Amino acid sequence: MTEHLEPGSIQSAGASPAVAEELLGVIQGVEGVSAVYPAQPLWQSIAGAAMAAVTGEILPLVSVTGDGDALAVKARIGVGTLRPAPSVAREVAGAVRTHLLPRDAAVEVYVVKVGP
C-alpha cells in the first residue's frame, strides 16, 4: 500500500508510511550509519507479525507515531567503526528533527550494532 500524505496530515503510525520512508532515507544518509533495523522487531509485535503474515506488507523500518503537530520517531541503527557511535546517533536525531520541521518531534535512536 502506498499512501502519499501532505505535511501535517499524519494521524498515526499506520497512516504515515510515506514519512517513515522519507526518514529512512534521511537516516541512511547520515555518515557512519551502516544499517537501519526495524524499530519494532516483528517478534515483539504479535499484531504486526500477524498483519504482515496475512497481507505480505513490509512494515516501515522507522516508526513514526503521533499527530501532525507532535511526532514520535523511533529508529534502530547500526554504526560502522570509522565514526563515534554517540556522535552518529546525535546526528541521526538532528537530521530527523530538521527534516520534520516545522513540526515538533521526539526522536529515539537505538544503536544496536557497532562494527562492520
The C-alpha cell of 48 is what? 504486526
Region of 8-16, 19-27, 93-101 interacting with other proteins (CB under 8 A): 93-101
Candidate residues 28, 85, 99, 103; the one interacting with other proteins per rule CB under 8 A:
85
CB atoms within 10 A of CB 83: 14
Query: Judged by CB under 8 A, which stretch of 4-12, 20-28, 88-96 contacts other proteins?
Result: 88-96
Burial 48-79 (b: 16+ CB within 10 A, else e): beeeeeeeeeebbbbbbbbeeeebebbbbbbb
Binding site for other proteins (CB under 8 A): 35, 37-38, 41, 43, 61, 76, 78-79, 81, 84-86, 89-90, 93-94, 97, 104-115
